[in-house]
A and B are shown apart, each in its own frame.
Chain A
Amino acid sequence: MSILEVKNFNKSFGDVEVLRGIDFELKKGEVLAIIGPSGGGKTTLLRCINFLERAEEGIMKVKGKVIFDGKNSRMTEAELRQNRLHFGLVFQQFNLFPQYTAVQNIVLAPNLLKKADKKTNKKNALRLLKRVGLADKADNYPCELSGGQQQRVAIARALAMNPDILCFDEPTSSLDPEITGEVLRVIKQLADENTTMIIVTHEMGFAKEVADKVIFIDEGKIVEQGDPKVIFDNPNTDRLKNFLGSMLRA
């Protein structure tokens, strides 16, 4: 059974239709890479999934249960928060809380939401920091960390809430090219551990290596989707061919 089903997502900003009938499914443990040209709607799709934007139309199911229906999207604050917890989101700009150390960033939500007792939460946070290779940076503030380190803390922070699906929006796009590797390695490792993930990325090589499934979005529509080998080595449409060509030249 699919862990996530998205059906017919539509979203407009004013007169601009940004998502036009997005459908896809994801199985537990799968990694989905979303690629496509700038302005195609990738970020908007992730934001709709994470309830940071509201799709006007569409249905979303997690583990078979409808958690969003655009036709009847009213929900209480509490329901909204509950639904959000199915997902984790790692932002392009990290968005760590500057006044907290790495470990404090990670335990903040688990402590406030009483996920476990504070001691357990902290132990868990330190374990996660170790997993992202930052055991020695637990007590550093974000301003004392490099971009790559900050992003890894952000990944650990998202993992601390045990989301069913972890989403990334261009996790390496605001990093210097020489340090994207350290973040990509962490994501690769998560993939190897069967973490269910949706990754919006411009790193085609990485998408090909790590994804079980690739979606190519252009102008708010899924133009092609399927196995990474097919998508990258035998693209069907001209649009995807052109896009991949432009990415190679870039």
Chain B
Amino acid sequence: MFQEVIIELTVGFGKTLELFVLTLIGSVPLGLVIAFGSMSKIKVLKFISRFFVWVMRGTPLMLQLIIVYYGPGLILNQNIWGMGSNGRLIAVLFAFIINYAAYFSEIYRGGIESISEGQYEAGQVLGLTKKQIFTNIVLLQVVKRIIPPMSNEIITLVKDTSLARVIAVYEVIWMGQAFIKSAGIIWPLFMTGAYYLIFTGILTIIIGKIEEKFEYFN
């Protein structure tokens, strides 16, 4: 039995990791686009970006997930996500990516806006272009500053992936819970906690190492 549980849970956690990694791959760059939008001089762009961020941060991810999955079907009368478990996975990823991109965009924006005007001006009087100033002077300082808040969000994402089960994506908690019905045992569900702890533990160590790499300046 134990072996069976381990196998099932590991498969489930594989799905959890898949959600985690693909969400990051999508939301980290998309967040940057939204961040630039919300700092744009073009009023419409700025308004749209900030409105989007407000909605994404102001409503529960669980609700967004449900709306993203069922909404198009109700409005367009067709399932745009495709059939079966693959369709559900795509819908979940879409919802996670736009939600996390909104959070990341705010972190980026905070990081960029925290760089003092003096850094830009020092670059300007040396005759550098805006692009040179951003890539050679500002960027690394921003990266250093956003590591702690990004780390928090990333750890939160690990746990948020469990929300995918509301539209039947078989991540680790779903798998653990399934044993209650099939075998009448609850301890596999408790065991899923260990998977999360180990993974977030590893992430914490990696993040610590990255932070160390940036300690040489402040």
Same complex origin of A and B = yes
A-to-B contact residues, CB < 8 Å: 50-52, 77, 81-82, 84-85, 87-89, 91, 93, 95-99, 108-109, 112-113, 141-143, 157-158, 161
- A97 → chain B, closest Cβ, in Å? 5
Residues in chain B near residue A82, CB distance under 8 A: 127
Among B123, B127, B218, the residue within 8 A (CB) of A98 is B218
Quick check: A91 and B118 within 8 Å, CB to CB?
yes
Quick check: B137 and A97 within 8 Å, CB to CB?
yes
**Bound state CA distance, A5 and B130, in angstroms?**
28
Besides A89-B125, A99-B141, A112-B136, 19 other CB < 8 A contacts?
A50-B125, A77-B129, A77-B130, A81-B128, A81-B129, A84-B124, A87-B125, A91-B122, A93-B118, A95-B118, A95-B121, A96-B122, A97-B119, A98-B217, A98-B218, A99-B140, A99-B144, A108-B126, A142-B217
Quick check: A84 and B136 within 8 Å, CB to CB?
no
B132 contacts chain A at the CB level, 8 A cutoff:
yes
**Bound state CA distance, A88 and B124, in angstroms?**
10
> With A91-B122, A95-B119, A95-B121 given, is the CB distance from A85 to B137 under 8 Å?
no
Quick check: B126 and A141 within 8 Å, CB to CB?
no
- B122 → chain A, closest Cβ, in Å? 4
Residues in chain B near residue A51, CB distance under 8 A: 124
- B201 → chain A, closest Cβ, in Å? 30
B interface: dominant SS: helix
B216 contacts chain A at the CB level, 8 A cutoff:
yes
Quick check: A52 and B125 within 8 Å, CB to CB?
yes
A-B contacts, CB under 8 A, total: 62
Quick check: A109 and B217 within 8 Å, CB to CB?
no
Among A98, A99, A109, A142, the residue within 8 A (CB) of B126 is A109
Instruction: Output the nearest chain B residue to A161 by Cβ-Cβ distance.
Output: B126
> With A95-B118, A97-B119, A99-B140 given, is the CB distance from A141 to B125 under 8 Å?
no
State which size class the interface on B falls in.
Answer: 20 to 34
The B122-154 residues at the A interface (CB cut-off 8 A) are 122-130, 132, 136-137, 140-141, 144
Residues in chain A near residue B119, CB distance under 8 A: 95, 97
B-to-A contact residues, CB < 8 Å: 116, 118-119, 121-130, 132, 136-137, 140-141, 144, 216-218
**Bound state CA distance, A84 and B137, in angstroms?**
18
**Bound state CA distance, A109 and B133, in angstroms?**
10
Quick check: A112 and B217 within 8 Å, CB to CB?
no
**Bound state CA distance, A205 and B126, in angstroms?**
30
Please provide the 6 A-B residue pairs with the shortest distance between their CB atoms, ordered closest to farther. Answer: A109-B126, A95-B122, A95-B118, A89-B125, A98-B217, A85-B127
Q: List 6 A-B contacts (CB under 8 A).
A: A85-B127, A95-B122, A99-B144, A108-B126, A113-B128, A143-B217
- A67 → chain B, closest Cβ, in Å? 13
Quick check: A113 and B127 within 8 Å, CB to CB?
yes
- B128 → chain A, closest Cβ, in Å? 6
Quick check: A97 and B122 within 8 Å, CB to CB?
yes
By CB atoms of chain A within 10 A, which of B118, B127, B132, B136 has the most? B127
**Bound state CA distance, A142 and B137, in angstroms?**
14
Instruction: Output the nearest chain B residue to A78 by Cβ-Cβ distance.
Output: B129
Residues in chain B near residue A157, CB distance under 8 A: 126
